[in-house]
A and B are shown apart, each in its own frame.
Chain A
Amino acid sequence: MIYAACYRMLGSRPAAEDAAQETFLRLWRNAAKWKPQGAKFETWLYRVAMNYCLDQLRKRKREAPEEAAPERADPADRQDQTVFAAERRFAIDEALAQLPERQKLAITLCHYQELSNIEAAEIMEISVEALESLLARGRRALKQSLAPMREHLMGKMEDGDVAQIN
């Protein structure tokens, strides 16, 4: 769960492994001192992990701006998928990698981790309204990035290569 969220944010297995390991290391060090203070434990743990991921993304940008985009998914992972599914996955990986970090975080928490808007807002320490704004902007940006892919896929549908888009 934490590992998957880190992977979504950082876009590579080694980076996600480091993030998960660091998150739990911090947890082991601080668990005895942890006080609920109204926050659910899950919220606290996600916050630690996601703040670490945001730090890493900012560090990447500072150190190598031209290489700031996360790695592409390993093509070997797609070998057993249909070409259509692989194309779609590749496209969304690329589009997610280009998203501003807080928009990506909002989508990661709500869509992929399936947290409620209230939980996601708590983790990000923002209001639900601000979260919804990030989600909407993020989804809008993704749609724009994917627009050429949509046309490409629609063309394939018309050619009968794929049965449906969704």
Chain B
Amino acid sequence: MATSHKSTDRLEALRRCADAYGADPARWPAASREDLRDLLDADAAADILADARFLDGFLNAATAPRMSADLENRIMANYQVPKPQAGLMDFLRGLAPGMRLLPAGALAGVGALGLASGVMSASAQEPLTPEYEALAYVNDLSVATLNEDGELEWDAE
């Protein structure tokens, strides 16, 4: 009886996951993915997952356009080079003139690894400055280059 209840509860948990996140376990919260892994191939889960997969297919069919170069230029035209934090720009220049700032995700990764701590500001979890991290978000394809004057130059890959 207890086993049956447990099985029903777990199936219900799978249904909740699929209802909220879809059929792909990669999209589920890690804990649920781990807990429910063995249910994925169960017959009882098939209908639940098929139903969610149907909607996933539709959602994935909706594409979004990429940001145009013109929009990126307009956004960057509004950007003012921030006043550098004391010592930061000298430090960066000393590291490598012309260095490319990493995309935000990579910066966070560097911080998480505890590397290049000198490039990070006061908190190890805090990226260089909001400006620098923000710039990486303007367009996923854009990277900034720090020139010899400590200004950001932009290009697209």
A binding-site residues for B, Cβ under 8 Å:
1-4, 7-8, 13, 17, 20-21, 24-25, 27-28, 31-32, 34, 36, 40-42, 44-45, 77, 85, 88-89, 91-93, 95-96, 107, 110-112, 114, 116-117, 132, 135-136, 139-140, 142-143, 146, 149-150, 165-166
Contact = CB atoms under 8 A, between A and B. Distances in A.
Given A25-B75, A111-B22, 10 more contacts: A2-B138, A21-B78, A28-B80, A31-B130, A44-B130, A89-B62, A150-B54, A165-B54, A166-B54, A166-B57
B148 interface: no
Interface stretch (B3-11, B13-21, B34-42, B149-157): B13-21
Given A41-B104, A111-B27, A89 B74 contact: no
B57 A4 contact: no
A107 B71 CA distance: 25
B79 A136 contact: no
Interface of B: 16, 19-22, 27, 29, 51-59, 61-68, 71, 74-75, 78-80, 82-83, 104, 108, 123, 125-127, 129-131, 133-134, 137-140
- Name the residue among A28, A32, A146 with the largest chain B CB count within 10 angstroms: A28
Contact of B16 (A7, A20, A40, A136): A136
Contact of A17 (B54, B55, B71, B104): B71
Main secondary structure of the interface of A (DSSP, over half): helix
B45 to A, nearest CB: 16
B82 A32 contact: yes
Contact of B61 (A21, A85, A111): A85
A93 B62 contact: yes
Given A92-B59, A166-B54, A31 B104 contact: no
